[in-house]
């Protein structure tokens, strides 16, 4: 349609001489048109309805009017969390304890109020959003006490298993009956809750939004934006009633917030200035006081939606068990590795008055541990005395930290900048070696990477670290801006792909290669062993130093690693030349390429094919977006173009796709089969291998793909 013909051009007119307005003030003129009334789509809620019965284990408290209120017993929540966690750790999964223990009274009181909604399902009266994904198992436990969604105590025993919808963090794609908005990455659900409240206002619904967050999540930029936007927009009449519940215990995954980073109290003091109606609850474990505060807060938010309510509840992480209450991290992770001490653990929660059902459950877990220990001893007694020496293994990230230490000893100005998870990423080894050469900026991944860019401009060689999922999502723009600012950073992003099995999809980075490979002046590396990681990190640090001293901009280097232990090296006396793929075995029938956590699948597939008389070249390809076409291309040609790749990543934009593209650009004909994740999210599982088997990321599937290519 030409401009002269009218239509859309008549609806959008930009007067001559006003083009510059497109860069600033909007001077465009739009013609009003008629449209049907704005009506939301008739989407039916998939959340389960209001429970038909009160909680099995309950306490009775008083409402503000003096009426009796039946509330789920917080001790039962804590006991159930402990019991279900033992089942998960027995399966090999890590679990949370400190968070759900801190939130038990808050969530018990809130659910009693929500489930008392009259005349309509609870979820038509409330949007309940839990941003604190590390406390989700406490919600499972509390709701099982109610029989919500027909959830039973038996169901809790499958927590974090691949067959359960009770995932490590709340995931609506697997549990839409219990989770409205998925959670996990701290502060990600809070601005979505803001969207719910604004949308309800637009739709004219009578519904209140309540969001539960932690003080650690409040350090994130997303949280601070929502802290300002919710009251700001509410003051303009754009937001439905909103209540924010903040668990304030000065504790995060690795320790105390104030000690390790900085105090959050000035942030909380600013909330009233921003427009929040703030109430302080000095004891977040006084169930009666917590209930009355939440009841009053909800009433105030409904009576005056222009002033959203924030309740700051002082809690103790790990509450209910002395050892975790006193622990610097509040027992963030469940402290028991088996059922040996679960009886005493639950007894302490109940001060020695454990309900018979829970006591029997704990004893059964203890008996299971005893039986397993007896079986181990019997097996050891029957085993030959001269066992083969075990293959030495370690986490891949250990090599990265060792390299940083070596480079610092060489005199290079290496400086570590962390965002709470340095114990998991492995860089804590460097920080403990050089305690004056690191800083923690709190739970704020974007801020961490941008801080690193500042360090780079100031002449340092910064190393930033976090989990892969947070690094490539929250950190993508800062990584881009670091490169654009000629401020190269080195990143350690761990727990990639399905390696973070138990935490579930929200923590499983499956797009990390695709998200970072196209950033200019950025090299993406996926080492598969500690020795390889040490060699490549050491070289990367020296390359940054040499480039900067020579007046060159230098590249950023991103190291993606898993979580589990692997052999220190896959080839004896191996060397790791920069930019080169590593040929592990030579063959002429097919080429198998792996990287990172799944290299062992390619190696095992090569062995299985050899047993069938098929000669495969097996290649370790650590340089993802700088493909070693010389090494790989020659082997692919020798194998008549037959190529199979495997990776713990989405097929689209992954290592295999980048290898195939590079070969095509070089004019090397090939037929390829890529084993990866096919456009789906992950889920919780006790261990990564459960997910690899479920998604076909196995040596057996590589063998099948290779044989299909050979024909």
User: Is residue 671 assigned to a domain?
Assistant: yes
More confident residue, 255 or 6: 255
Q: How confident is the model at residue 16 (pLDDT cuts 50, 70, 90)?
A: very low
CB 130 within 8 Å of CB 189: yes
Residue 51 included in any domain: no
From 5-19, 101-115, 578-592, the region with the lowest mean pLDDT: 5-19
The answer to whether residues 64 and 159 belong to one domain is yes
Boundary-marking domain end, from 502, 534, 567: 567
Is there a domain that residue 530 lies in?
yes
Confidence of residue 25 (pLDDT cuts 50, 70, 90): confident
Query: Across the strands, what pairs with 242?
Result: 209
Q: Please, where are the H alpha helices in 331-392?
A: 342-349, 356-382
Indicate if 246 and 133 belong to the same structural domain. yes
pLDDT of residue 12: 42
pLDDT over 90 at 389, yes or no: no
642: Cβ–Cβ under 8 A, 6 or more apart, which residues? 589, 590, 591, 636, 670, 671, 706, 709, 710
Asked whether the predicted pLDDT for residue 21 surpasses 60, the reply is: no
Q: What is the pLDDT of residues 624-661, one digit of tens each?
A: 999 999 999 999 999 999 999 999 999 999 999 999 99
Which of 517, 541, 567 is the C-terminal boundary of a domain? 567
Residues 586 and 556 placed together within one structural domain of the fold: no
Residue 414 has pLDDT above 60, yes or no: yes
- Residues 446 and 551 reside in one and the same domain: yes
Domain that holds residue 199: 58-326
Q: How confident is residue 326, by pLDDT bands cut at 50, 70 and 90?
A: very high
414: domain CATH number? 3.40.50.970
> pLDDT exceeding 70 applies to what percent of the chain?
96
Answer yes or no: are the C-beta atoms of 528 and 517 closer than 8 Å: no
Of 386 and 177, the one with more pLDDT: 177
Does 226 lie in the same domain as 144?
A: yes
Whether residues 586 and 651 fall in one domain: yes
- The reply to whether 680 falls in a domain is yes
pLDDT tens digits, one per residue of 415-470: 999 999 999 999 999 999 999 999 999 999 999 999 999 999 999 999 999 999 99
Clarify whether residues 560 and 588 are in a common domain: no
Residues 605 and 551 in one domain: no
Given 519, 540, 567, the domain boundary residue is 567
- Percentage of residues in the chain having pLDDT higher than 90: 94
Specify whether 549 is located in the same domain as 663: no
Whether pLDDT at 59 is above 50: yes
* DSSP per-residue string spanning 190-225: HHHHHHHHHHHHHHT---EEEEEEETTGGGSHHHHH
Total structural domains within the chain? 3
Q: Where are the beta strands (DSSP E) in 503-596?
A: 522-525, 556-560, 565-567, 582-585, 590-594
Asked if residue 83 is part of any domain, the answer here is: yes
pLDDT in tens, 455-513: 999 999 999 999 999 999 999 999 999 999 999 999 999 999 999 999 999 999 999 99
Is residue 45, in this structure, part of any structural domain at all?
A: no
Instruction: Give domain status of residue 558, yes or no.
Output: yes
For CA atoms 185, 187, 191, 192, give the dihedral sign.
positive
Compute, in degrees rounded to 10, the torsion defined by CA atoms 198, 170, 566, 89. 150
Q: In this predicted structure, what is the pLDDT of residue 27?
A: 86
Q: What is the mean pLDDT of residues 564-579?
A: 95
Please, what is the average pLDDT of the chain?
95
Instruction: Give yes or no: residues 315 and 404 share one domain.
Output: no
Residues 587 and 563 in one domain: no
State the pLDDT at residue 388. Answer: 66
Return the H-helix or E-strand segment holding 244: strand 242-248
Which residue is it, tokens 């198998």?
592
pLDDT value, residue 38: 95
CATH code of the domain covering residue 640: 3.40.50.920
Summarize the confidence of residues 262-283 as an average pLDDT: 98
Strand partners, 461: 414
Beta strands in 56-188 (DSSP E): 58-62, 68-72, 126-130
| pLDDT of residue 183 exceeding 70 | yes
Q: Find tokens 């839409």 and name the residue.
A: 176
What's the residue count for the chain? 711
Q: Do 268 and 153 sit in the same domain of this protein?
A: yes
- In a domain, residue 29? The reply is no
pLDDT at 190 over 70: yes
């Amino acid at each position: 349609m030409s401009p002269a013909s009218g239509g859309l051009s008549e609806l959008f007119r930009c007067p001559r001489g006003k083009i510059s307005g497109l860069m600033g003030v909007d001077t465009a003129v739009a013609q009003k048109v008629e449209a049907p009334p704005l009506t939301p789509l008739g989407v039916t809620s998939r959340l389960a309805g209001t429970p038909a019965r009160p909680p099995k284990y309950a306490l009775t408290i008083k409402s503000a009017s003096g009426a009796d209120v039946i509330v789920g017993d917080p001790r039962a929540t804590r006991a159930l969390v402990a019991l279900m966690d033992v089942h998960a750790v027995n399966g090999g999964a890590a679990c949370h304890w400190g968070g759900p223990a801190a939130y038990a009274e808050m969530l018990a009181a809130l659910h009693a109020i929500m489930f008392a909604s009259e005349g309509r399902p609870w979820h038509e009266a409330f949007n309940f959003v839990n941003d604190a994904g590390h406390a989700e198992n406490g919600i499972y436990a509390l709701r099982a006490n109610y029989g919500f969604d027909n959830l039973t105590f038996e169901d809790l025993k499958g927590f974090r298993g691949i067959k359960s919808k009770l995932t490590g963090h709340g995931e609506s794609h697997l549990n839409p009956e219990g989770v409205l908005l998925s959670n996990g990455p701290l502060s990600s659900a809070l601005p979505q809750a803001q969207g719910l409240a604004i949308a309800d206002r637009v739709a004219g619904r009578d519904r209140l939004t309540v969001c539960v967050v932690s003080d650690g999540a409040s350090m994130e930029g997303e949280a601070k934006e929502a802290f300002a936007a919710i009251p700001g927009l509410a003051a303009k009449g754009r937001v439905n009633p909103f209540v924010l519940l903040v668990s304030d215990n000065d504790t995060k995954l690795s320790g105390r917030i104030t000690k390790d980073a900085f105090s959050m109290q000035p942030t909380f003091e600013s909330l009233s200035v921003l427009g929040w109606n703030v109430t302080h609850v000095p004891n977040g474990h006084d169930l009666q006081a917590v209930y009355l505060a939440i009841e009053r807060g909800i009433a105030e938010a409904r009576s005056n939606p222009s002033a959203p309510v924030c309740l700051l509840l002082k809690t103790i992480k790990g509450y209910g068990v002395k050892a975790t209450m006193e622990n610097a991290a509040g027992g963030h992770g469940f402290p028991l590795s088996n059922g040996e001490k679960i009886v005493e653990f639950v007894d302490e929660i109940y001060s020695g008055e454990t309900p018979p059902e829970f006591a029997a459950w704990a004893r059964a877990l203890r008996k299971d541990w005893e039986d397993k220990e007896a079986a181990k001893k019997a097996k050891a007694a029957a085993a030959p005395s001269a066992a083969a020496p075990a293959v030495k293994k370690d986490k891949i990230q250990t090599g990265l930290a060792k390299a940083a230490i070596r480079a610092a000893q060489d005199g290079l100005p290496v400086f570590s900048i962390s965002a709470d998870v340095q114990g998991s990423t492995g860089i804590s080894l460097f920080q403990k070696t050089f305690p004056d050469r690191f800083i923690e900026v709190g739970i704020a991944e974007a801020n961490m990477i941008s801080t690193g860019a500042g360090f780079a401009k100031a002449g340092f060689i910064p190393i930033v670290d976090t989990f892969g999922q947070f690094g490539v999502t929250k950190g993508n723009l800062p990584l881009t801006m670091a490169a654009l600012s000629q401020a190269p950073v080195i990143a350690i992003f761990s727990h990639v792909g399905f390696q973070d099995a138990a935490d579930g999809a929200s923590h499983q980075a499956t797009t990390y290669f695709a998200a970072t490979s196209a950033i200019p002046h950025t090299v993406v590396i996926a080492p598969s062993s500690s020795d390889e990681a040490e060699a490549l990190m050491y070289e990367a640090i020296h390359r940054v130093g040499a480039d900067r001293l020579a007046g060159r901009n230098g590249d950023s280097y991103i190291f993606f690693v898993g979580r589990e232990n692997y052999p220190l090296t896959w080839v004896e006396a191996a060397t790791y030349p920069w930019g080169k793929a590593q040929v592990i075995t030579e063959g002429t029938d097919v080429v198998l390429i792996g990287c990172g956590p799944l290299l062992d699948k390619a190696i095992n597939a090569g062995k299985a094919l050899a047993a069938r008389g098929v000669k495969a070249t097996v290649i370790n390809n650590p340089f993802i977006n700088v493909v070693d076409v010389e090494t790989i291309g020659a082997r692919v040609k020798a194998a008549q173009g037959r190529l199979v790749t495997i990776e713990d990543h989405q097929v689209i934009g992954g290592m295999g796709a980048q290898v195939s593209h590079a070969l095509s650009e070089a004019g090397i004909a090939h037929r390829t089969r890529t084993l990866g994740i096919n456009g789906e999210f992950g889920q919780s599982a006790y261990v990564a291998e459960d997910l690899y088997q479920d998604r076909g990321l196995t040596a057996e599937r590589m063998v099948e793909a290779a044989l299909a290519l050979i024909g």
